[in-house]
Amino acid sequence: MTIKVSAPGKLMLLGEHAVVYNRPCLVTAINHRLQAQISKLRTQKIILNAKDVELENYEKKLEELGKGEIPKPAQFVEIAVRNFHKVYPLKHGVSITTKSQFKAKFGFGSSSGAAVCTIKGLAELTGINLSKREIFDLSYQTVLDVQGVGSGFDVAAAVFGGTLYFVTGGKEIEPTTKAKISLVVGYSGIKEDTATIVKDLAKRKEKNPAMFDDIFNTIAELVSQGKICLENQDWQSLGNLMRINHGLLVQLGVSTEKLDDLCVAALSAGAYGAKLSGAGGGDCMIALVSDKTKQPVEQAIVAAGGELINIQTGAPGVQLEL
């Protein structure tokens, strides 16, 4: 018996970094998906394959899961299997093969997607009916176990799909607009590790907590206003909020000259708004556009040295693939 599942990647619209500190964010699931194929083994071990990240025939006994050194490409899947196995003991081993429609370097949430697909796939394979909330909780715990930090917004996008209003740890997970959001995405050409950036910011916050909290509170207010903009499809106002949010991320020290250049180029070409999306330090920026400005903004981002990535927002969450 083989189970196939897939989960979407994500893009942060507003609220990155602040969401790590008990503030809300707005995140949308995108149509670039991570897929997993899971089948039973007769032996009591896992076999993992992920050619995208050069993981081939990685094996471990079920009782050894989470112990010893784990290769980075195997961490999220192995720990997800361990966490599932703790609650719903597996009577057999499993073979898991993952494949992504997007490159891990883009920062679309491939690690969270791998954890979510693993939990969903194991539940389907073993006949256990898990709610989306239960899938979220097990997957989010996996991310915390591996990284030590994380708000869970990328896990929520992978599980629930759509465009979400999300508060740290899943205290609130609320669908917002069903409308497609017209975004142009530009990759900066630089890959940065999310956990490293989050931990670095935490150290700097310790030295000046009041200043950082003021910025996070302002970002939280932007998110609240942005939620209303999404519901009203007020793209001009949402774009203005994105501009302000990017400026605050610059103050937090998580943007880069390249990301700033791409955002300026997009705005100069007529975008409603532009900002980095995600942890920063590299990865992607997003620009909110109209039908009229989409092509000029795309051309401006390419001219500024960005790599265009075509996406659609509001993609469905984790699901079985036929």
Could you give the angle at the alpha carbon of 141 between the alpha carbons of 140 and 147, nearest 5°?
90
**Strand, helix or coil for residue 166:** strand
Cα separation, 28 vs 169, in Å, equals 17
* DSSP element (H, E) containing 28: strand 24-41
What token pair was written down for 69? 């050194």
- pTM of the predicted model as reported, rounded to 2 decimal places: 0.95
Cα separation of 118 and 146, whole Å?
15
CB 220 within 8 A of CB 248: no
SS3 321: coil
The answer to whether 238 touches 229, Cβ cutoff 8 Å, is: yes
| Coil vs helix vs strand at 320 | strand
What's the rounded Cα separation, in Å, for the pair 47 and 78? 9
Among residues 154, 193, 213, 260, which one is catalytic? 154
DSSP for 122-153, please give it.
HHHHHT----HHHHHHHHHHHHHHHHS---SH
Q: Answer for the pair 288, 14: CB distance below 8 angstroms, yes or no.
A: no
Q: Check if 154 is active-site.
A: yes
- Given the structure tokens 């205290």, which residue do they identify? 171
Sheet architecture: strand order including 183-187: 273-277, 284-288, 183-187, 307-309
- Domains plus CATH for the chain? 2-177+315-320 (3.30.230.10), 183-309 (3.30.70.890)
- Which residue has tokens 């507003």? 14
pLDDT tens-digit profile, the chain (322 residues): 899 999 999 999 999 999 999 999 999 999 999 999 999 999 999 999 998 888 999 999 999 999 999 999 999 999 999 999 999 999 999 999 999 887 776 667 689 999 999 999 999 999 999 999 999 999 999 999 998 888 999 999 999 999 999 999 999 999 999 999 999 999 999 888 888 899 999 999 999 999 999 999 999 999 999 999 999 999 999 999 999 999 999 999 999 999 999 999 999 999 999 999 999 998 999 999 999 999 999 999 999 999 999 999 999 999 999 8
Q: Which amino acid, 109?
A: G
Distance of CA 302 to the CA centre of its chain: 24
Alpha-carbon separation of residue 56 from 1, 49, 71, 98, 249 (angstroms)? 21, 5, 11, 11, 38
pLDDT number for residue 148? 86
Looking at residue 149, its pLDDT comes to: 82
Query: Strands 55-61, 183-187: parallel, antiparallel or unpaired by DSSP?
Result: unpaired
Query: Strand, helix or coil at 103?
Result: coil
